[in-house]
Amino acid sequence: MIKVTDLDFSYKGSKTKVIKGINFHIKKGEIFGFLGPSGAGKTTTQRIIIGLLQEYEGSVEIMGKERKAWGREFYERIGVAFDFPNLYLKLTALENLQLISSYYKKKPQDMESLLERVGLLSDKDKKIDGFSKGMKMRLNFIRSLIHDPEIIFFDEPTSGLDPLNAKIIKEMILEMKKEGKTIFLTTHNMTVAEQLCDRVAFIVEGKIPVIDSPKELKVKYGNQSIKMEYYEGEFTRVEEFPIKGLKENSRPREILKTKDIKTIHSQEATLEDIFIKLTGRKLV
Amino acid sequence: MNKTLFKATLRANWLIGLFITLMLIMYTSIAITMFDPESADMVEGMLKMIPKGMIKAFGFSNLGTELTGYISSYLYGFIYIIFPVIYSVIVANKLIAKHVDSGSMAYLLTTPNSRIKIAITQAIYLASSIAIIFIINIVIGIILSESMFSGLLKIDKYLSLNLITYLVILAVSSIGFFFSCLFNETKYSLAFGGGVPLIFLVIKMLSELNTDLEWMRYMTLYSFINIDKILESSGYVILSSSIILVISLIFYILGIIIFNRKSLSI
C-alpha cells in the first residue's frame, strides 16, 4: 500500500537533512506505528507521504503510484487526523462534519453514528468553542473518517483523552483494520503502539534503526527477569534474576526458603525499554 | 473557486464585515443628514478656525455647498479609507497566514482542494466582500440623498468616486493578501500587511500637511483618490482605475503564485 525507498528530505534554506535515507513498506490492512521522540522526523515523514511536503528525494509509492504523480483525487482515498484538533469554532460539531464532507465527492458516512460512537451525539448541535480538548480530539478523529478513506494517518490519536475515550478510539482503529483499511500511526506513546500496531518503526534523527512487530522486538531485545522483594529485619530489599538460567540459579530458592517475601513479579521489557536500548534516546 | 470554503470563510468573517459596513453607514448617514447648503457659510467659518494643514490632512478641504463635493470631502478623504483599510488588513491576514499559522491549512490541504483553488477562493472572498461593503453604502448614500435632497447628488460622479476608492482599497487588500501568502506566521503577515497601508496613510497626511512634502503624494496609493480630479474628469477616472486595477491584480496573482510554490511550515 505504501512503499518508501531511500527517502531524503531537508527543509528549504537548510542544508541539514531531516530524513536520511529511510526505507519501509506498509501492507494493506496493516497498522504501522511510527515511533520516535519529538523532532525525530515522524511528522515530516508523514507529511511527505500525505503530500504536504513535496521536495523530497527518493521514492514514496502509494497505492501503486509515486506520490508526486497523484493529483487531488489522492485525498479522496486518504484520511488524516493530526495531533492538533483544528475545527471551525463557530460551527457546531455536526456542521463541522457536514462542511468537511462537502469537500469530497464521495458520499459521507453516517455522521450521527460516528458522533454516537465517540460519545458526541448529544453535543452535535453545540458550537465547538465550548468543547473540551478531549471532545475536539474525538471530533477531529471522526472528521478524518467521514469520506470512508482507504489509508488513514493518525498523529497521536489518543492524546488528551481519558482512558475510557482512548479505549473507544483504539477499538475503532482495530475495527478499521478488520475492514481492510491501512493505518499509519505516528506516536510517542509506546503503550498505544504496543496495543495497536502490527509492526513499528523506530525513528531517531531521521533514520530508522529497526522495524518489526512489538512482539518480535521484545523477544529479540527484551530481557525477561523476576524481581523479588523481601524483608530483612526492618528493611525491604529487592533482587532481580534473569529468567534465562533461572533453574540453575540457587539464590532465588535461597531467598524463598530463608526470607519473608513481600512481592514477586515477572519483569518484561517494555517497547520503551527496547527503544532506549536500541537508540540510546528517550521518547520525550 | 471552492463554494464550501467560500461559505466557511464568510461564516468566519461576516461579523467584522458587518461592523465596518455599519460604521460607514453611520458616517454616510450623518454626513448626508448634516448637509445644509444654507449653512455653508457657517461651516466654512468653523473650518477657518482649524489649522489648514490639519483640515487637508483629514481630507475635509472642500466642504462646499454642492452635495456631491460635500459628501466627497467629508467622507472620502479619510473615513472611507481608514475603515475599509482596517477591514482589508485584518481579513487578508486571516484568509491565508492565520490558516497556515494555526495549522488549519494543513487540514484544508488534506482535502481535495489544491493550493491554487484555496488561494483563489480566499482572494475572491476578500475582493468581493470589500465590493459588497461599498455597494451597500453606495445604495444607502443614493437613497438618503435622493430622499432628502432630490436631484442634488451627481450620481455618476458619486459612482466614479466610489469606484476609485474601492479600487484603492482593493489594491491595499492585494498587498495584505500578498504578505499573507508570503509569510507563514501571522505576526509578520500582519506587520507588513498592516504596516504598508499605515505608511501610505502617514505619507498621504504628511504630503497634505506641508506643501514642501507635496512630492510625497506620489508615494502613496491613497493619492489616487483625488476628489477634485475625480469630480472634474472622467478621463482621470478611467486612467487611474486601470492603473490601480493592474496593481491589485499583480499583488493578488503574485500572492497566489507564492502560496502555490512555497514550503509551508505546517
This model of the complex carries an ipTM of 0.73
Write out the three cell numbers for A216.
518480535
pLDDT at A36: 86
pLDDT at B62: 56
Beta bridge partners of B89: none
Counted residue by residue, chain A has a size of 284
Mean pLDDT of B4-18: 91
Of 3.40.50.2300, 3.40.50.300, 3.30.70.270, 3.30.70.100, which CATH number belongs to A2-219? 3.40.50.300
> What pTM does this model have?
0.79
The span from the CA of A125 to the CA of A221, in Å, is 50
Contact A86 B113 (CB under 8 A): no
Report the 10 Å Cβ neighbour count for B236: 17
Closest partner CB to B4 (pick from A50, A82, A99)? A99
At residue B43, does pLDDT exceed 70?
A: no
The span from the CA of B115 to the CA of A24, in Å, is 29
Closest partner CB to B264 (pick from A52, A100, A103)? A52
pLDDT at A120: 94
CB A33 within 8 A of CB A194: no
CB contact set of B18 (below 8 Å; sequence gap of 6+): none
pLDDT at A191: 87
Mean pLDDT per block of 10 residues along chain A (284 residues) reads 93 86 94 89 90 89 92 92 85 90 90 94 92 92 94 92 92 95 91 92 91 86 84 90 87 91 85 81 63
pLDDT at A110: 93
Give chain A positions within 8 Å (CB) of B5: 103
pLDDT tens readout for residues B180-221: 999 989 999 999 999 999 999 999 888 888 788 888 888 899
Min Cα–Cα distance to chain B from A26, Å: 20
The span from the CA of B8 to the CA of A194, in Å, is 39
pLDDT at B143: 95
Closest partner CB to B8 (pick from A47, A73, A88)? A88
pLDDT at B102: 84
CB contact set of A248 (below 8 Å; sequence gap of 6+): none
